[in-house]
Amino acid sequence: MEVTASIDKENKTNIWGGGTSPLKASYGKIMMWFFLLSDVFTFSGLLVTYGFLRYSYPAYTGPVSAFKPSMDYWPIPEKIFDAVPFLHGIHLPLLFVGIMTFILILSSVTMVLAVEAGQRMDRNDVTKWMLWTIVGGLAFLGCQAWEWSHFISGTEEGMALSNGVIVHGANLQVNEYGPPLFASLFFFITGFHGTHVASGVFLNAIIFYNVVVGTYDKRGHYEMVEKVGLYWHFVDLVWVFVFTFFYLI
């Protein structure tokens, strides 16, 4: 046994000798990072798909003000997403998506404030900020539900197909905004992100419950809040990209 002990002592300074943690982070945090990395791959796959399919249709070349939806070219997003709840019939391009973006950014800030409070072992503050984060997440999901239902039900005018049939709204076969793939990609990309937000709210709710009943005070640290915070910021990060690639470009 003495031999082993002396080897251990010798290897104390050796990086492969055990007892060192080169990433200086707990295993749970590292695993969360690598899970998020795998999620980056998934969303990148969707982004590539979007780019491939979008450029399988010609871009609209006329003046933006004269834009009319057609099956022949890819629509301009600002001409499609121009509705805001309670302001029916007013053309307010991308305003509602902008509001959604601000809601998500704000809920990201409240999350990082919860993490900060957790590092101070301040249960009341963590409770407060986690609750705001959950409220923000639910508000975002509500906005997205409205956005989807408006997209699906469509406008009064609709779009006339070449055979004279008028299409209202959108489904997976046909939509009044442009090629069928436009609606499919809208549903898939924003839906996949929305699923992430929904599961984020669910995780936040579990952590919130644990904070309230004092689990982390007993444990002596609030690291779970940091882990779930990483996930929540990632959801915000993905929305930043969805906003640019789906709504702006």
Query: Residues 81 to 140: which contact another protein by CB under 8 A?
Result: 93-94, 98, 101-102, 105-106, 108-109, 111-113, 116-117, 120-123, 125
Token reading at 9: 């002592």
Single out the residue of 78, 82, 138, 198 in contact with another protein (rule: CB under 8 A).
78
Examine residue 217 and tell whether it contacts another protein (CB under 8 A).
yes
State the minimum distance, in angstroms, from the CB of residue 81 to another protein: 11
Closer to another protein by CB, 152 or 241: give it.
Answer: 241
Alpha carbons 79 and 131: distance in angstroms, whole number: 36
- Least Cβ distance, residue 137 to another protein (angstroms): 15
User: What six digits make up the tokens of 122?
Assistant: 């301040």
| 13-32 binders of another protein (CB under 8 A) | 22-25, 30
* Residues 235, 196: Cα–Cα separation, whole Å: 7
Q: Going residue by residue from 32 to 51, which x/- string records binding to another protein, judged by CB under 8 A?
A: -x---x--xx--x--xx--x
* Residue 225 binds another protein (CB under 8 A): no
212 phi and psi, to 5 degrees? -65, -40
Interhelix angle 223-242/123-153, nearest 10 degrees: 30
What is the C-alpha to C-alpha distance for residues 235 and 136, in angstroms, rounded to an integer?
A: 13
- Phi and psi at 59, nearest 5°, equal -80, 155
The reply to whether 249 sits near another protein by the rule CB under 8 A is yes
Judged by CB under 8 A, the stretch of 4-12, 133-141, 196-204, 238-246 that binds another protein is 238-246
53-90 burial: b if 16+ Cβ within 10 Å, else e: ebeebeebeeeeeeeebbbebbbbbebbbbbbeeeeee
Alpha carbon 232 to its chain's center: 8
Binding positions for another protein, rule: CB under 8 A: 22-25, 30, 33, 37, 40-41, 44, 47-48, 51-52, 55-56, 64, 76, 78, 93-94, 98, 101-102, 105-106, 108-109, 111-113, 116-117, 120-123, 125, 217-218, 220, 226, 229-230, 233-234, 236-237, 240-241, 243-244, 248-249
